[in-house]
């Protein structure tokens, strides 16, 4: 119930204005977001790399409704790749991209063009790109754009959400040789007609997804902080070479576990940065009510 309210608030302009206008919010946001600008993000990437962690960097932003803004987002990614190269951090790095930030809802062809430019620039410096998955209404379009991108850039990956009823079918189509697929539980409020609702059903669907991924010929990316899902993934991966899959977690969540897993496995941290942190932050609050308590306490204790 609380998480549904928070996810609805994540899409409300009025709540956005309220939450982002309070300076104190920043302290809590900083736990999940690497900073407002690329310099701050590069500093975080450097630290994570020092600790043996890989990264996927996300320039925050979503639901772009103006063509000019979509071009600004594309340019932010081009700057990101230049910075990766300048600081010697490009090797093994990945960029996470939300197609809605590139104008997907405005014009699918525009989002595809921008995504192509991003992939071409990433490829030149040896960085891979992974498409985030957003709410269920965008899945067909995202998979279609993925297919087009993979013709020229076969290393482009995608996230799929276990909570969606369609995902097992999507996964079967996606696990061919060379594919890179990140399995996550799903962070959006979705109706029961398209998505499993309770944690138990979502977890079961996640395990089904893991089985399909691990039996497939692609490169599984296990995006979860859930110790049970991680143990099951490890059990399913016993026959696989450690270099043939990786774990992924979000910046600021179970950081000690990230480092522990990195000792024996490939571990990648999803690092978001940028001023447009509102939607991302609200989804993190929705995932764990304790985060909301922490957030509210920072107001009471001021």
Q: Which residues are annotated as a binding site for FAD?
A: 133, 161, 185-187, 199, 224-225
The interface region with ligand FAD, picked from 87-95, 104-112, 147-155, 217-225 by CB under 6 A, is 217-225
> Does residue 142 belong to the site contacting ligand FAD (CB under 6 A)?
no
- Cβ–Cβ < 8 Å for 141, 108: yes
> Does residue 266 belong to the site contacting ligand FAD (CB under 6 A)?
no
> Does residue 284 belong to the site contacting ligand FAD (CB under 6 A)?
yes
Nearer to ligand FAD, 19 or 184 (CB): 184
Known binding residues for substrate are 98, 283-284
Minimal distance, residue 182 CB to ligand FAD, in Å: 6
> What is the C-alpha to C-alpha distance for residues 64 and 66, in angstroms, rounded to an integer?
6
Say how many C-beta atoms besides its own lie within 10 A of residue 254's C-beta: 16
User: Which residue from 33, 119, 249, 261 is in contact with ligand FAD, where contact means CB under 6 A?
Assistant: 249
Q: Tally the C-alpha atoms within 13 A of residue 113's C-alpha that lie toward its C-beta.
A: 9
Instruction: Let me know if 13 is a catalytic residue.
Output: no
3-state helix, strand, coil in the chain (%, to 5): 55, 15, 30
Contacts of the segment 7-11: beta carbons below 8 A, 24+ positions apart: 7/188, 7/189, 7/282, 7/283, 7/286, 8/189, 9/282, 10/278, 10/279, 10/282, 10/283, 10/286, 11/63, 11/279
> Does residue 54 belong to the site contacting ligand FAD (CB under 6 A)?
no
> Does residue 291 belong to the site contacting ligand FAD (CB under 6 A)?
yes
Using left for φ > 0, alpha for ψ between -120 and 50, and beta otherwise, residue 173 falls in alpha
Minimal distance, residue 86 CB to ligand FAD, in Å: 25
Nearest CA-CA partner of 246 in 255, 230, 256, 257: 230
- Residue numbers 99-138 binding ligand FAD by CB under 6 A: 132-133
> Does residue 288 belong to the site contacting ligand FAD (CB under 6 A)?
yes
Task: Give the active site residue among 49, 58, 74, 132.
Answer: 132
Instruction: Let me know if 63 is a catalytic residue.
Output: no
The interface region with ligand FAD, picked from 15-23, 67-75, 136-144, 218-226 by CB under 6 A, is 218-226
The residues facing 65 across adjacent strands are: none
User: Which residue from 209, 220, 223, 274 is in contact with ligand FAD, where contact means CB under 6 A?
Assistant: 223
User: What tokens appear for 268 in the block?
Assistant: 């990648």
What are φ and ψ of residue 297, in 5° steps? Answer: -65, -30
Minimal distance, residue 96 CB to ligand FAD, in Å: 7
> Does residue 9 belong to the site contacting ligand FAD (CB under 6 A)?
no
- Cβ–Cβ < 8 Å for 161, 133: yes
Minimal distance, residue 7 CB to ligand FAD, in Å: 10
User: What tokens appear for 190 in the block?
Assistant: 């979705």
Residues that bind ligand FAD (CB under 6 A): 132-133, 159, 161, 182, 184-188, 223-226, 229, 248-250, 253-254, 270, 284, 287-288, 291
What residues are annotated to the active site?
Answer: 132, 182
């Amino acid at each position: 119930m609380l998480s549904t309210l928070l996810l609805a608030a994540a899409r409300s302009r009025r709540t956005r204005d309220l939450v982002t206008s309070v300076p104190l919010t920043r302290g809590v946001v900083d736990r999940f977001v690497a900073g407002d600008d690329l310099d701050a993000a590069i500093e975080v990437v450097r630290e994570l790399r020092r600790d043996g962690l890989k990264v996927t960097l996300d320039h925050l932003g979503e639901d772009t409704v103006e063509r000019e803004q979509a071009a600004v987002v594309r340019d932010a990614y081009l700057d990101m790749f230049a910075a990766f190269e300048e600081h010697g951090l490009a090797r093994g790095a990945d960029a996470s991209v939300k197609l809605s930030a590139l104008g997907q809802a405005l014009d699918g062809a525009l989002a595809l063009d921008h995504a192509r430019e991003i992939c071409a620039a990433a490829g030149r410096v040896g960085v891979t790109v992974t498409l985030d998955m957003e709410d269920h209404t965008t899945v067909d379009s995202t998979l279609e754009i993925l297919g087009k991108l993979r013709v020229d850039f076969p290393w482009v990956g995608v996230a799929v959400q276990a909570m969606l009823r369609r995902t097992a079918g999507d996964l079967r189509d996606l696990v061919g040789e060379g594919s890179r697929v990140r399995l996550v539980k799903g962070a959006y409020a979705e109706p029961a007609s398209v998505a499993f609702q309770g944690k138990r059903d979502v977890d079961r669907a996640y395990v089904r997804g893991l089985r399909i991924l691990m039996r497939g010929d692609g490169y599984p990316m296990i995006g979860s902080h859930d110790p049970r899902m991680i143990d099951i993934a490890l059990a399913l991966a016993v026959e696989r070479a450690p270099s043939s899959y990786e774990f992924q977690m979000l910046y600021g969540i179970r950081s000690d576990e990230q480092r522990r897993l990195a000792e024996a496995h490939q571990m990648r941290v999803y690092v978001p940065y940028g001023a447009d942190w509102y939607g991302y932050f609200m989804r993190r609050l929705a995932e764990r009510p304790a985060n909301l308590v922490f957030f509210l306490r920072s107001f009471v204790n001021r």
